[in-house]
Chain A
Amino acid sequence: MTDTLTHLDRLEAESIHIMREVMADAAKPVMLYSVGKDSAVMLHLARKAFYPSPPPFPLLHVDTTWKFRAMYELRDRMAAESGMELIVYQNPEAKERGINPFDHGPLHTDMWKTEGLKQALDLHGFDVAFGGARRDEEKSRAKERIFSFRTATHGWDPKKQRPELWNLYNARKAKGESIRVFPISNWTELDIWQYIARENIPIVPLYFAAPRPTVERDGLLLMVDDDRFPLKDGEVPVERSVRFRTLGCYPLTGAVESEATTLGEVIQEMLLTTTSERQGRIIDKDGGDASMEKKKQEGYF
């Protein structure tokens, strides 16, 4: 007995099955699109799942206005290529109050992302939202269901989650309740990179090393992506060859020094590296040990 399907084939088939299954019970699905590599893979899988139709739902980008410029460029290009509607949502209150990562700390993520997402879902009445979270990212995600059930107020109660057996998903819900669906739950960072290489999926160039203006703060290398970056006295951006392992708001995303300019080299560095993927993200560490779990209960993706 041999396997005719490789691990990537199996992961792909599972993700496609999940996406199609959503269409059975969802009234108004949407795909959350954050422009990162996981979103890129998820979007690619959606195009495969419904080909020759375009994916039968829009893309939603919950924007913070603080993403890297290169992300906005790829976002608009991919929306056009996929033939999907792109909805960009910016929390008007955060915008009005000028919430930013430099002055407001954790409030920045809370208002732009957590609140912004809830507002956008409520505004459009989306009942199912696809997200690109993976179980290998963080400890509390290892227990997340593929179909993650949310109350009418977007709360996540670990005790209310439904058992998932075989490939049978229960997508029934009452009015007002919603479901977050994670079709790439079972993919690891390595799987994502291998699949991007195998399928030639376009990703933001920031994943590859290039000389970029950076400053070092609290042990993180931050890129000065635009002139909103407030430099401290005597702080001068230094050109370093860097790349990013994850992408978010540029003032919150640490770069790694690297010479990897091809996918192969990026994967090579990843396999030989000694620090985890989320290490470059500030978000996990706000509020101590169980911070991601807490954020999730509050409605963060």
Chain B
Amino acid sequence: MTDPIYVTDALIAEDIDAYLAGHEKKSLLRFITCGSVDDGKSTLIGRLLYDSKMIFEDQLAALEADSKRVGTQGQEIDFALLVDGLAAEREQGITIDVAYRFFTTEKRKFIVADTPGHEQYTRNMVTGASTADLAVILIDARKGVLTQTRRHSFLAHLIGIKHIVLAVNKMDLVGYDKAVFDRITLAYRAFASEIGITNFTAIPISGFKGDNITALSDNTPWFKGPALIEHLENVEVGSAADEAKPFRLPVQWVNRPNLDFRGFSGQLASGKVKPGDAVRILPSGKTTTVERIVTLDGDLGEAAAGQSVTLTLADEVDCSRGDVIAAADNPPEAADQFEATLVWMADEAMIAGRAYWLKLATQSVSATVQAPKYEINVNTLDHLAAKTLELNGIGVVELSTDKPITFEAYADNRTLGGFILIDKLTNATVAAGMLHFSLRRAQNVHWQATDIDRDMRANLKNQRPALLWFTGLSGSGKSTIANLVEKKLHRMNRHSFLLDGDNVRHGLNRDLGFTEADRIENIRRVGEVAKLMTDAGLIVITAFISPFKAERELVRGMLPEGEFLEIFIDTPIAEAEKRDVKGLYKKARAGQLKNFTGIDSPYEAPENPEIRIDTTAMTPQEAADLIIDRLLG
């Protein structure tokens, strides 16, 4: 059973050139293995590596020694030890991250994503599944379909894996009983059809003993095949499907070695392209034709999905990183509002209304996510009401981007439909998402072009519009100084408007409370109002605690460069609490006010404000003079 029958040693020894010629034509299959801690997943992968001769003598000797020392299989070889990589997890006896393994047979090269089965590691499984063509779902024959099985299958289906293998493992421990296998297969079929998996291949195996891995086992004469490896070698996952779709090439890099050459480099997301093809550049919509497909090995007559190439175009059209070159008669659409499924991957929960970086293909934009329409319980598949998504949470959300992106539904095109969200402060990848469709609001609500523009309005007032954004703790002196600044501006015949935090909450924002999400929405609305006012030519002054950097940066991003002045009223909390003008600190300390900044809600101080006012070192009058100087100076 352990004979590596699918590696033809004979041909290697006799005619290496013939062997290599055959191997050059091998295809590639990427798959994931999903199972719970005790389903024997690592053992199965160790077995695949061992049987395909990916384990060498020195590793085997080390493995034998390890098996005796820390193995769980008595005196027999513990294959799991081959693949449990990091020191920490070897001690714990579990896998805690995604590991990639490689093996090869006569027909194919395989890349295996080894993904853990623990509930808290949904993130890792989604990561491993995102590049996989096929999923092997492992089930312990003694236990049958468990909650984890349902979760793994749901995630594999969610990420769009079309080929599912149900590997019923540990058949040796149930006496290779056909009835057990049939019962599990039937139970799985019922569940699979519920979530939309219409097709799967069930195989009874023993990773430990090697049954039905490389060849059909004598222990299961009732099973007519295919063996696991045979199935993996023959399952059709070819690139033909991607090639049949319309041509799309997200531009990664503009290649400009000299003034005579301008090439656009990228990997074809779908379709085919050849010189002379009519193409459309998105989002501009300009059309031209492909002139050459340039590679180091000479020009190509055609390129297909999956290839990395450099195109030159017949006309001098604007085209840069983030643009998509597409079939002229069948281009993808652009939009700025979407429905999507999000998988949250960070310890810090999603914050509705906060701006994150969104990266889709080669496009990077700023995006805000609304509170989930619902969260999906991955165990029961129930839809639950939710205000946010925690680590490993999966939900359906609406999101909007600050400018339109070129996209396709994830179900149609993984490259133009899959995206990640990145935290703007920590730069961590916090979520993965799959676009469903655009909400089409942006297309229908067009910008109304007006004849009088913002410059003309500002010129009439003989001033440069600006937004003076005061931030600081409650009681730091924001309103006092802001009020003085506006009085001075008024005396100087400047047109201004002071938006005060408390006042806005009496009207525009009276539906908002003081939770983190509400505070963010509060700031977003104020930012939009302030932006309209600067468009009208006004000098706008705002005085809000605005405790989060991300929201202040969001507002900064709404305005033209240089018009947003962040003014940090820097008063130490002890000093602000001592003043306690409104008696709020006292209430917060007594527990009567929740989410009070500085007490039980954080204040993120600006790192590089345009102006910093140290209220322990100057009077409000001096502070106002300094601000006026900086504004008009």
Contact = CB atoms under 8 A, between A and B. Distances in A.
Interface string A138-182: 011011000000000000001000111111101011100000000
A119 interface: no
A3 interface: yes
Interface string A106-145: 0000000000000000000000000000011001101100
B552 interface: no
Contacts of B88: 158
Nearest to A277: B56
A248 B594 CA distance: 62
A1 B241 contact: yes
Nearest to A198: B24
Interface stretch (B143-151, B276-284, B306-314): B306-314
B422 A172 contact: yes
Interface string A264-296: 110110011111100100000000011001000
Interface stretch (B126-134, B468-476, B520-528): B126-134
A24 B253 contact: yes
Contacts of B295: 48, 51
Interface string A1-29: 11111111111111011001101100000
A226 interface: no
A52 B261 CA distance: 9
Interface stretch (A69-77, A87-95, A188-196, A205-213): A188-196
Given A12-B308, A13-B267, A168-B419, A186 B253 contact: no
Contact of A17 (B124, B267, B345, B429): B267
B359 to A, nearest CB: 6
A194 B240 contact: no
A164 B88 CA distance: 21
B20 A267 contact: yes
A167 B268 CA distance: 12
A53 B26 CA distance: 31
Interface string B1-44: 00000000100110011011001111110000000000000000
Most buried by A among B17, B100, B359: B100
B83 A142 contact: yes
Interface stretch (B101-109, B325-333, B556-564, B583-591): B101-109
A21 B361 CA distance: 10
A174 B427 CA distance: 8
A185 interface: yes
Contacts of A47: 296
Given A6-B25, A272-B12, A166 B414 contact: yes
A293 B238 contact: no
Q: How large is the interface on A (under 10, 10 to 19, 20 to 34, 35 or more residues)?
A: 35 or more
Contact of B16 (A185, A186, A267, A293): A267
A215 B150 CA distance: 59
B130 A140 contact: no
A102 interface: no
A236 interface: no
B394 to A, nearest CB: 14
Contacts of A80: none
B427 to A, nearest CB: 4
Contact of A9 (B23, B85, B256, B307): B307
Given A163-B127, A165-B130, A13 B16 contact: no
Contacts of B238: 1-4
B257 A275 contact: no
Interface residues of B, number: 83
A61 B263 CA distance: 30
Nearest to A191: B109
Nearest to B88: A158
Contacts of B263: 52
B13 A10 contact: no
Contacts of B253: 20, 23-24, 50
A294 to B, nearest CB: 8
Given A53-B255, A170-B427, A293-B87, A271 B12 contact: yes
A163 B308 contact: no
A276 B131 contact: no
A194 B19 CA distance: 11
A14 B111 CA distance: 13
Given A16-B308, A168-B419, A290-B87, A21 B252 contact: yes
A168 B12 contact: no
A197 interface: yes
A49 interface: yes
A289 B267 contact: no
B432 interface: yes
Most buried by B among A170, A174, A191: A170
B127 A24 contact: no
A194 B57 CA distance: 23
Nearest to B253: A20
Contact of A163 (B25, B123, B236, B257): B123
A17 B269 CA distance: 11
Contact of B13 (A20, A48, A190, A268): A268
B619 interface: no
A163 B130 CA distance: 11
Most buried by A among B16, B111, B263, B310: B16
A291 to B, nearest CB: 10
Nearest to A147: B429
Most buried by B among A6, A7, A174: A7
Nearest to B360: A168
Contacts of B17: 264
Given A1-B240, A3-B27, A53-B257, A276 B56 contact: yes
Contacts of B533: none
A1 B295 CA distance: 27
A51 B25 contact: no
Interface in B108-138: 108-109, 111, 114, 123-124, 126-127, 130-131
B362 A24 contact: yes
B459 interface: no
A52 B306 contact: no
Contacts of A167: 131, 267, 415
A146 B415 CA distance: 18
Given A5-B239, A186-B100, A165 B127 contact: yes
A142 B99 CA distance: 5
Nearest to A21: B252
A106 B11 CA distance: 42
Contact of B418 (A7, A135, A166): A166
Given A13-B307, A136-B102, A273 B418 contact: no
Nearest to A294: B87
Contacts of B57: 274-275
Contact of B86 (A4, A140, A194): A140
Interface string A33-49: 00000000000000111
Contacts of B124: 163
B553 to A, nearest CB: 14
B99 A143 contact: yes
B357 interface: yes
Interface string B418-443: 11101000011100100000000000
23 contacts: A3-B239, A5-B27, A10-B28, A13-B306, A16-B308, A20-B265, A47-B296, A51-B295, A142-B100, A142-B114, A143-B86, A143-B100, A165-B127, A165-B420, A166-B415, A170-B428, A185-B100, A186-B100, A188-B109, A197-B20, A268-B12, A275-B56, A275-B57
Interface of B: 9, 12-13, 16-17, 19-20, 23-28, 56-59, 83, 85-88, 90, 97-102, 104, 108-109, 111, 114, 123-124, 126-127, 130-131, 236-241, 243, 252-253, 255-257, 261, 263, 265-267, 294-297, 304, 306-308, 310, 321, 345, 357, 359-362, 414-415, 418-420, 422, 427-429, 432
Q: Which 6 A-B pairs have the closest CB atoms?
A: A290-B87, A1-B238, A16-B308, A276-B56, A3-B27, A7-B28
Interface of A: 1-14, 16-17, 20-21, 23-24, 47-54, 135-136, 139-140, 142-143, 158, 162-168, 170, 172-174, 185-186, 188, 190-191, 194, 197-198, 264-265, 267-268, 271-276, 279, 289-290, 293
